[in-house]
Amino acid sequence: MLRRFFVLRLSLAAAFSWVPLEKALAHSPYRFWDVFRKINMQILTSHADYVGDDIGDAWVATLRENLPLSRAMVSRAHDMTRIASLLKTDQVKMAVLSYMHARLMFTGQPPFEDFAPLPLEILVDNGKYLLVTRPNLPLYHGFLVTTALMEDAEKLQLVNPDKGRFGMAVHAGAQVYYRGEKLEPPIAPK
């Protein structure tokens, strides 16, 4: 009789001691993903748009050369609705979009009606594609990205987006660059 209680208690103890070990060994990429996004600048493109993907590669190469601490990299989404989803949920800050896709996302027209309203702002424009961002991109980050890309504006065929496109505003940091002004880096917290 005592042996049964001993075996029962031993098996219960073994079962409950496994729970904390299981949680410690569980695979959760989300914590790492948050850190990864903070130390690497991701420019999102899509496998569905080969031209936009090539433009994203060229823009990232320029960012890596002119702004090496950005650790810029291209991240590729399967399709454009995935880009809209990642932008809407603020998991990605910047994306390369064709004029057509940028207009459709911004206005919430099909196939992006599930993501409306999707506030987007423009950093750079090459006449066919835009580098768009969320409005919550820090002012200085927008300024640095625009400055780094516009250093090679002729090679990348970049133009000043003036007042924006399709109702999308130009990001405030990009506006500072296009006006020819300088922007001091923010003071680091102590």
More reliable by pLDDT, 135 or 6 = 135
Asked, for residue 184, whether it belongs to a domain, the answer is: no
- How far, in Å, CA of 4 to CA of 58, rounded? 71
**Residue 81 structural domain:** 32-178
- How far, in Å, CA of 75 to CA of 133, rounded? 14
Host H or E run for residue 50:
helix 50-66
Asked, for residue 27, whether it belongs to a domain, the answer is: no
Query: Residue 130: which of 140, 139, 121 has the closest Cα?
Result: 121
Asked, for residue 2, whether it belongs to a domain, the answer is: no
Q: What is the pLDDT of residues 119-174, one digit of tens each?
A: 999 999 999 999 999 999 999 999 999 999 999 999 999 999 988 888 899 999 99
- How far, in Å, CA of 163 to CA of 166, rounded? 10
> pTM for this structure?
0.80
Asked, for residue 140, whether it belongs to a domain, the answer is: yes
Total tally of structural domains belonging to the chain? 1
Report the pLDDT value the prediction gives residue 155, as an integer from 0 to 100: 94
Q: For residue 62, count other CB atoms closer than 10 A to its CB.
A: 20
**∠169-158-49 over CA atoms, to 5°?**
80
- Give the CATH number for residue 59: 3.40.190.10
Asked, for residue 42, whether it belongs to a domain, the answer is: yes
* pLDDT score of 27 more than 50: no
Report the pLDDT value the prediction gives residue 36, as an integer from 0 to 100: 72
Report the pLDDT value the prediction gives residue 15, as an integer from 0 to 100: 58
Mean local confidence (pLDDT), 40-47: 92
Q: What is the pLDDT of residues 62-113, one digit of tens each?
A: 999 999 999 999 999 999 999 999 999 988 999 999 999 999 999 999 999 9
Report the pLDDT value the prediction gives residue 190, as an integer from 0 to 100: 74
**Are residues 98 and 66 in contact, defined by beta-carbon separation less than 8 angstroms?**
no
Query: Residue 88: which of 108, 73, 60 has the closest Cα?
Result: 108
Host H or E run for residue 164:
none
Report the pLDDT value the prediction gives residue 25, as an integer from 0 to 100: 47
Asked, for residue 3, whether it belongs to a domain, the answer is: no
